[in-house]
Amino acid sequence: MRIAVTGSIATDHLMAFPGSFADQLIAEKLDKVALSFLVDKLEIRRGGVAANIAFGLGCLGLRPVLVGTVGPDFDEYRAWLHAHGVDTTGVCQSVLQHTARFVSTTDNSGGQIASFYPGAMSEDRDIDLGKLHDDIGGFDLALIGASDPEAMFRFTDQCREHSIPFAADTSWQLARMDGDQVKTVVDGAAYLFSNEYEAAMIEQKTGWTPAQVAEHVQIRVTTLGADGARIDQADQPPILVPPLPDAEPSEPTGAGDAFRSGFLAAIAWNLSLERAAQLGNLLAVHALETVGTQEYELKPAPMTERLIRAYGETAATEITACLP
């Protein structure tokens, strides 16, 4: 199964604040908030939702096609992705703008305040996903990840025009979309990915009930943080998959992207939806326990041991049999 992954390609600047954001907020002054946080450390890492997801898929042996726009500062990053099994045929280079930047500060309770500068990503709208599909001999699924909103709309339309199954992953671009725009990128998706908050926002903006959302997509996947993941299909009971019990969180950025990598890899291997969520949870924990979204390593023996502890021998056997 060949998967194209669209969305942001960025450099992450990750900082840690030793206190709590909540303790610094004054409720009656929120309309005039002006805060600066003295942070303890700064980590500069490779990131961007599309690159993170492609990295995880590449580490699992799937050779995903990364799609997006970068700046002239991308050569070292490109070499890193190649070394981890990512096909960058679909990556275009801007002559005007630098690669996107993500700047995030996390407090000691896991709260996060972040900003994102799109840079070259704003040119994603000029990519023709249908033409790329034809040029490289086709792909079986396109994940439409958070990017320039206009690019997301165009990619979704191009998937429909070329009969390419697509997964909708609006994530942080939900805040920029109105109800009709959300419907545009969700309706007809083979998979809809979101966290619990985003799931509620999708329902609020579209006016659809949870049952109606399930009717507009084939499979709805909702990550629940420390509670695992839920999978919904129209007229089917939900599949609830518990989390790994032994997670030791370090930095949350990229955990959701890693989940998508594991989930889609399992789908590519024709495993069940339950197994897909279990592998997704396992990769999410790998990212959660590592500073940097592409710094984790996947080693079969420790992966097997953790799967056995969390989900039992049968699940571990079925999943690890597919690992490269």
Rg (CA), the chain: 19
The distance of Cα 295 from the centroid of its chain, to the nearest Å, equals 15
Of the candidates 17, 225, 14, the one whose C-alpha atom is nearest the C-alpha of residue 108 is 17
Distance CA 151, CA 93 (A): 16
Which one from 87, 148, 232, 257 is the annotated catalytic residue?
257
From its phi and psi, is residue 270 left (phi > 0), alpha (psi between -120 and 50) or beta? left
Q: Which residue has the tokens 């790994």?
A: 244
Q: Say which residues have a Cβ less than 8 Å from residue 185's Cβ, sequence separation at least 6.
A: 144, 152, 153, 156, 168, 170, 177
257 is catalytic: yes
Cα angle, residue 145 at apex, residues 195 and 168 outer, rounded to 5°: 65
Alpha carbons 155 and 158: distance in angstroms, whole number: 5
Known catalytic residues are: 257
